[in-house]
Chain A
């Protein structure tokens, strides 16, 4: 199929984000070529635009924009849609993040394109998206000849061009921001007192734990490891079992402990994106179909209420034995 492929990248503090390079690599692995053109909304992204042009060999449209983290509304979407213009079938890819999820629907509407979010794979005109927390996927072949996708990028080996070309950068002046949605400011993350970044072992609780009354099992298990901490899924934080400073995943923290034990966490990609750096992942879940088992190195299909006490008991015995010996 003769189609044009575009990506919309992001910068932070003038630098190209990792997700933008992941997006370019996603396109390369899906289509065997780099995007035909890239869009880069950025407030001061000149260097980033040249870097992206060098990386992809493509035309990079640098769209000067008010803030890197927050899309300035419809005007930006209009600019992108105008540059794509009429003509050939096209697919536009954005990262499945705040920025992409605010911008993509407007681009889709302006291009009269189908919108697909949560995309994990693409091949030709066939797109795969996650549903039901990653338990199932949907394969879609859009009826229209234009599609806008937000993609769960994953860190992959960034593809380098065999014959590096410098690409080119075209600079477009800022579309005026929509004064009906005025950005007042970006709040930086609070200085974290969370023990998660330093922890070598993290034991995390999810909704599958059943109730706050079972949280002590997770805490007790964690306490048996040196340099350990208790983490949580978004669901467990929403239920008030643990503070949001313990939340791991796309809207929480990314962690890289030596050992990660997921207790009752189903393992939607929003959570597992935060544990890619973990060396060993143990998943304990009663549901053997839970997507967490797709990333776990050790699978324990058990009821937490019986398994965790048994594990705690066995660990205590083993450690006591070792101390005596």
Chain B
């Protein structure tokens, strides 16, 4: 069975991102650190757990679509134990929209003969939460989102998955492979790389494919303009030292009869 895990590189701390208001785009500070999107890390871990359960004939590959710096997340996937990885390259700091990304990922799936695609439920930066479903839709495969448990019914044939709905409801579905699953955070605890895998990863290099080669006829949409949200701030801002703020807050709590 071949499993493809879709991972994205995101900026670690959102307060290192600033807005160029004139250009309507975001810029990263020199100190910005980039890492694997958390939900994707859970997706990769889930794939590695599948391999542990089902045995050595499961191959786990990781793929990312992103700028040159995104190479570090597929390398990280190798260190965590992926068999191989692909970096679909785009220029500079660019990140294509979810539809283009999904078309590139679907093309990778077709090239590689995969049976199962795992992706994180949502990226922390653009918060689209839709790339996995689009990969499924482009491939014509069933897709289950927000998965919090995977049970293998027959290797390469069928999986039983639990999806998280709102307010504590969960859906239990049997999904015939090939299929796409989007993985919710908290499904597992992602591992730290073992030294042996780190050393193995050093001897490997990701396969790189330019985005234009995978998606030759990209539809050019209107680039979104980024802005600050319309401020709805109406609260009282406490001023002073830490102690002064604590005292002011105690007074407010008293006034509101929230403490005796």
Contact = CB atoms under 8 A, between A and B. Distances in A.
Interface of A: 67, 69-70, 73-74, 97-99, 101-102, 104-106, 109, 114-115, 117-118, 120, 129-144, 178-190, 192, 201, 224-226, 234, 237-238, 240, 244, 250-254, 258-259, 266, 268, 280-283, 287, 289, 291, 293-303, 306-307, 310-311, 313-315, 318-319, 322-323
Contacts of B234: 297
Nearest to B15: A287
B18 to A, nearest CB: 10
B242 A117 contact: no
Contacts, number: 244
Given A70-B165, A70-B171, A97-B166, A136 B98 contact: no
B232 interface: yes
Nearest to A141: B222
Interface string B7-47: 00000001101010000101000000000001000000000
A184 B236 contact: no
Nearest to B244: A310
B166 A251 contact: yes
Smallest CB-CB A-B distances: 5 pairs: A189-B168, A138-B224, A181-B142, A105-B133, A310-B246
B129 A101 contact: yes
A98 B165 contact: yes
Interface stretch (B51-59, B61-69, B112-120, B248-256): B248-256
B185 A143 contact: no
B259 A318 contact: yes
Given A133-B14, A186-B172, A297-B236, A142 B134 contact: no
A15 to B, nearest CB: 14
Contacts of A192: 168
Interface stretch (B81-89, B174-182, B191-199, B200-208): B174-182
Given A130-B229, A144-B221, A293-B235, 8 more contacts: A102-B133, A133-B127, A180-B142, A186-B165, A240-B189, A293-B233, A311-B246, A314-B249
Contacts of B111: none
Interface stretch (B70-78, B143-151, B209-217): B143-151
A186 B142 contact: no
A141 B221 CA distance: 9
Nearest to A70: B171
Contact of A184 (B173, B176, B227): B173
B173 A307 contact: no
A142 B173 contact: no
> Chain B: interface residue count, which band?
35 or more
B68 to A, nearest CB: 22
B160 A299 contact: no
B174 A184 contact: yes
A73 B162 contact: no
B226 A131 contact: yes
Of the candidates A102, A143, A179, the one having the most CB atoms from chain B within 10 angstroms of its own CB is: A102
A307 B240 CA distance: 12
Contact of B233 (A144, A258, A294, A301): A294
A288 B154 CA distance: 51
Nearest to B164: A251
B169 A237 contact: no
Nearest to B171: A70
Nearest to B238: A300
B119 to A, nearest CB: 12
B98 A187 contact: no
B169 A291 contact: no
A224 B234 CA distance: 27
A318 B249 contact: no
B192 to A, nearest CB: 15
Contact of A139 (B38, B227, B247): B227
B235 A299 contact: yes
A120 to B, nearest CB: 8
Nearest to A201: B258
B163 A118 contact: no
A322 B260 contact: yes
